[in-house]
Structure 1
Amino acid sequence: MQTYFFILAALLYLGCAFMPSERRTPISLGIVLGWVLHGGALLSDMFAPEALRVGFAVMLSATLWISVAAYWLENRNFSLDSMRVLVLPVAAVSVVLPSIFPGNMIVLAGKSDWFLAHIAISILAYSTLTIAAFHAVLMVLQESRLHTRPGPAAQTGWFAMALDRLPALLTMEKLLFRLIGFGFVLLTLTVLSGVVFSEQLFGTPFRWDHKTVFTMLSWLLFGLLLAGRRWQGWRGRTALSFTLAGFAILLLAYVGSRFVLEVVLHRVLT
């Protein structure tokens, strides 16, 4: 049953992604329905009595589930309709991945309460910075369009027209840094809760594995970006480059490394 819900949610996401912008009500309702189906199936798939399913596909799906909600709410306040074609197709792919790559169940008995808290905070951090990355891509496309003079034929596409309806670049930049600031706070809490969780479970504050290294590198990049923004006035291409680089490294921290371990190397880890 979960698989059918996942497939239906993916189809709803895809349908809403490429629906004409004028159909705002069907798009909004379709996203909400897909999000509810996605969340319900994900919840029942992740949690079992005294056990939790982990894996790159599950965590990616959970991240995109929250990212869809963040996009929907952000689009209610600002005209960000063009982000649909970026967020929803990726969400549609992430929805069905747990059915293909189920990961593994870990027993929660004996685990610290920090374990679930750490996972929840990290997913929120990844989700916020995922939306920030989509936002940065949108700004790159918006800036590129402002510096070109497309002919009449190129202006008829709905995505091009949606780009033209985006808020001014300065407004988009303010939104981007608001997302990055919030995501950085969550990422900091992820690192701190990870220290507590690691110390209670493994007896050491840090496990210097790939996940820790990539997470710390991403944290340093986003922190440097915010510091540069505050004291050096960084903006434009510099801000976008830092955002996308930080997100790429963060993606490698868990999703990328788990993909290699689970799918390429066929290793099952907790």
Structure 2
Amino acid sequence: MQIYLSFLAAALYISSIVLPASRLSMINVVSALAWLTHGAALWLTVFPEYAIRVGFAVMLSAALWVSVFVCWLENRNAALDGLRLLLMPNAALMAVLPGFFPGSLIALAGKTAMFPWHVVIAMLAYSTLTIAAFHAVVMTVQDKHLHQLRASQKTLWLNTLIDRLPALLTMEKILFRFVALGFVLLTLTVLSGVIFSEQVLGVAFKWDHKTLLSLLSWLLFAILLTGRYWRGWRGKTVLSFTLSGFITLLLAYVGSRFVLEVLLHRSLT
């Protein structure tokens, strides 16, 4: 059932970007239907009966699902149509990805009530910081493009897309909303993993690569927020720390699961 919902969500996401820009109300309706269908597919995938599914594809799909929702919320305060045109094709791809890489099932029997909450918070943290990283990439492209416009006029479609984005200062403010929220969720994830490791994960706490990379990612985002509020960091420094923190977090979980599930064909939690 979920595979059909996933492909339906992907088709609706694509439809939302090929509709004429003048049909804004229809675009909003189709986007909402796509998001709801994607959410239903994710629910059936992640929460089968008496179990929870984890994997790099599920995490990426959830990240884009949250991204679409946040983009819709922010679009009420700033014109993010250009960002939507970049986001929807990726959301369509990630909606169907778990169908090809289903990941691993973890039985909830014998697990404490804290376990699913730890997984959900971790997924939300990763999803929010994925939005921040995507946003930082768009800002990098936007900044380079605006500087290059003085020398020559580039492709028309890119000019149009950049023109539909908010100003860089507005984009930066939105970026820090994402980073601050993601940092709070990541802090809760790290604390639950450290303090309640044995109760939540069923194993004693250990210093493996996932733990070290997660802590390093947390540290990078902590330095970024501190530099922002105490030193007024802006521009390339902000983008560099955002992308570095996200890549570190990506390697901590998604990268390792990709190697296990796709390259080594192993199903480990």
State TM-score, norm by structure 2.
0.92
- Which residue matches 1:23? 23
- Which residue matches 1:127? 127
1:152 is displaced (CA, Å) by 9.3
- Which residue matches 2:246? 247
Q: How does 1:180-195 map to 2 (within 5 A)?
A: 180-195=179-194
- Which residue matches 2:44? 44
Residue type of the alignment partner of 2:161: A
How far apart, CA to CA, are the structure 2 residues paired with 1:41 and 1:52?
14
Is the partner of 2:75 in helix, strand or coil? Answer: helix
Q: How does 1:65-144 map to 2 (within 5 A)?
A: 65-144=65-144
How far apart, CA to CA, are the structure 2 residues paired with 1:197 and 1:66?
26
Residue type of the alignment partner of 2:58: V
Aligned residues of 1:125 and 1:184 also touching (Cα < 8 A): yes
Stretch of structure 1 that moved more, 161-170 or 172-181? 161-170
- Which residue matches 2:233? 234
How far apart, CA to CA, are the structure 2 residues paired with 1:21 and 1:155?
20
1:119 is displaced (CA, Å) by 0.9
Residue type of the alignment partner of 1:220: L
Cα deviation code 1:139-164 (max 9, x no counterpart): 1122122212279974742x522322
Residue type of the alignment partner of 2:73: L
How far apart, CA to CA, are the structure 1 residues paired with 2:196 and 2:99?
29
Cα deviation code 1:83-135 (max 9, x no counterpart): 12332222111111111111122110111112111111111111111111121
Is the partner of 2:65 in helix, strand or coil? Answer: helix
Aligned residues of 1:114 and 1:196 also touching (Cα < 8 A): no
Stretch of structure 1 that moved more, 254-263 or 167-176? 167-176
**What count of residue pairs does the alignment treat as equivalent?**
268
Is the partner of 1:105 in helix, strand or coil? Answer: strand
Distance 1:28 1:202, change over 3 A: same
Aligned residues of 1:67 and 1:131 also touching (Cα < 8 A): yes
State TM-score, norm by structure 1.
0.91
Aligned residues of 2:111 and 2:202 also touching (Cα < 8 A): no
- Which residue matches 1:172? 171
Aligned residues of 2:13 and 2:88 also touching (Cα < 8 A): yes
Is the partner of 1:268 in helix, strand or coil? Answer: coil
- Which residue matches 1:163? 162
Aligned residues of 1:211 and 1:254 also touching (Cα < 8 A): yes
Stretch of structure 1 that moved more, 79-88 or 254-263? 79-88
Query: Share of identical aligned residues, percent?
Result: 59
